[in-house]
Structure 1
Amino acid sequence: MTQITFDDIYTIGEIVVENAQYRHYHYPEMLIRYDSNFIEFKQLPSLTEFKEAESYLREYHLKQGQKHVKFYFPANIKPTVELIALLTDTGYEIGFLELYTIQPKDFPSVRNNPDISIQVVTDDNFEVLLNIQYQHDLSYGSEFAMQKADLITRQFEDQNIHQILAFYKGAPAGCVDVIISSETAEIDNLTVNEQFRNKGIGSRLQEFVMETFPKKNVILVADGEDTPREMYKKQSYKYHGFKYEAQKIYQD
């Protein structure tokens, strides 16, 4: 199997600046999506180098009307104690992501539940997807939810992104995106409505991905401090590394 790294993960956004130290990603279509507007360091920066990159990104974002800065650090390298202290003292939220992969044949079989049905998103059910996502994204604010609807529409037209819906007893219950490359199928945006959780819907959505793309390496990124990562481990996903992130939201 080809070695999978964070470089295989799909990024929404374009590189607007690249140098020996970092790549700057920007996505003008959705300026409030932090995961599309950030700097990704190629090597761990010194305190001086970080401050210089921070100043550059803050100035760039201010010109665009953006109120955040976000940074990703090199994979599998923990920031230094001094850098963590600087981030903490200046109001950053610090977290880390974990990369997981699985061969579809290794995914455990899911108990058949006739109450759960799966549909690929088409013109006929696209509005169902928009509604599920809108209700979920409202927790980030109405502006974000509306802009996310535009993003979902653009992705619907992308032949390399498959959008999938789950229903429970006929009611819309969840969804997932699958991003296809030559070797991988990336599970992204796995969402189950709160009232339908713990019914096996998330597992059934994943099983559908395994059945649809049996020859792909299935990959995903999980929040290193969130509970779904424990589910992925139980489902035989293999851990492939971590990446630290830090973001700061300005109030003015």
Structure 2
Amino acid sequence: MNISLNDIFQPGDIYDNDWYKSIYLTPTTPLVFDANKWVYKQMPSIYQWKMDIATQTHMHKQQNSNHLTFTFPENVELDQQWIALINNEQFELGLMELYAIEPQQFKGHADDEVKVAFVDETTLEDYISVYRQFAAPYGEGYVEESTRMIKNHFNDDAKTRLIAYKHGQPAGILDLIVTEDTVEIDGFGVLECYQRQGVGSVMQSIVAKLANRRPIILIADGEDSAKDMYVKQGYVYISFCYHIVKEHI
């Protein structure tokens, strides 16, 4: 599989793009971290990064974004000096890992108690009822802004959305980015009360059928135990990158 982080879908509007970085600035959704950030293509010097912090702070405050976010280049390790500086600037350091699997490696999983459907106008409110529970830790402002974005752009969104029902009740949701070359799992969650009941396995079986011969890709939090589940399912580690976030600027 010739897969890299360049194959991952990036939401938001590109404000500037050159050999050094891409700047995503999306005034319509200022609270969404991933739509308002800088992605480095080349590692900055420490002096340059500090200047970039000042520039991003100014840009984000102008559009009422209350965070700073930077993503470092793929497969570049951060040394102890960088980690100390990041901590000193009060950023949270995260590790994103890219995984992939060929769809034929999935074993089909069926369960008569679990029904999976593509989200449409008739099931959108059920989808949002589940989505809001996963978005809640990011704050009420984010929940309302992102929910409004889903509703307003549902018919022209780049995402294909699935919802799973267990005994007729909304139990899980899954977002896909489908391209000619890959099928990306962009968001996936099963409500706690329905976990370990086959809901996620049935949903992933549907994804494998949809993917046909295209590899399935996803980003996992390097510090999240969920990645262990993906490895057990047969996903293969591809690459990593570090990202940093500072809230309440």
Q: TM-score if structure 1 supplies the norm length?
A: 0.94
Moved more, 184-193 or 76-85: 76-85
Aligned counterpart, 2:139: 141
Q: Distance in 1 between matches of 2:182 and 2:18?
A: 28
* 1:127 match: 125
Task: Give the corresponding residue for 1:48.
Answer: 47
* Whole-Å separation in 2 of the counterparts to 1:63 and 1:122: 36
Match of 1:30 in 2: 29
The corresponding residue for 1:183 is 181
Aligned partner of 1:31: which letter? P
Per-residue deviation, 1:116: 1.0
Distance 1:246 1:160, change over 3 A: closer
What does the per-residue CA deviation read over 1:2-60, in whole Å, with 9 as the maximum and x for residues that have no partner? x1111111111121022332111112221111111100111111110111111110111
* Structure-to-structure mapping, 1:92-171, within 5 angstroms: 92-110=91-109, 112-158=110-156, 160-171=158-169
Alignment of 1:74 with 2:105, yes or no, is no
Moved beyond 3 Å, runs of 4+: none
Which residue identity lines up with residue 114 of structure 2 in the other structure?
I
Aligned to 1:216: 214
Q: Give the TM-score, by structure 2 length.
A: 0.95
Structure 1 residue 108: deviation in Å?
2.9
Shift of 1:232: 0.5
Letter in 1 for 2:34: D
| Counterpart secondary structure, 1:113 | coil
Q: Which residue matches 1:16?
A: 15
Structure 1: distance between partners of 2:156 and 2:183: 14
Q: Which runs of 5+ in 1 are unaligned?
A: none
SS at match of 2:242: strand
Partner residue in 2 for 1:195: 193
Report the residue type matching 1:216 in the other structure: R
Partner of 2:246: 248
Q: For 1:233 and 1:154, locate their aligned partners in 2 and report how far apart those are by CA, in whole Å.
A: 36
Q: Which residue of 2 aligns with 1:172?
A: 170
Offset of residue 122 of structure 1 = 1.5
* Per-residue deviation, residues 95-148 of structure 1 (Å, max 9, x unmatched): 1100011111011333x3221111111222111112211233223222211111
Query: How far, CA to CA, are the matches of 2:93 and 2:57 in structure 1?
Result: 18
Equivalent-residue separation in structure 1 for 2:136 and 2:100 (angstroms) = 30
What is the identity, as a one-letter code, of the residue corresponding to 2:66? K
Offset of residue 155 of structure 1 = 4.8
In 1, Cα distance between equivalents of 2:22 and 2:239 = 20
Question: CA deviation digits over 1:225-246, x for unaligned, max 9?
Answer: 0011001101111111001011
Q: Share of identical aligned residues, percent? A: 30
- CA RMSD for the aligned pairs? 1.5
One-letter amino acid of the counterpart of residue 145, structure 2: Q
> How many residues are matched?
249
* Residue ranges of structure 2 left out of the alignment (5+ in a row): none
Contact 1:12 1:27 in 2 (8 A): no
1:44-77 residue CA offsets vs partner (Å, 9 max, x unmatched):
1111011111111011111112221010000001
Tell me how far apart the structure 1 counterparts of residues 168 and 92 of structure 2 sit (CA, whole Å).
40
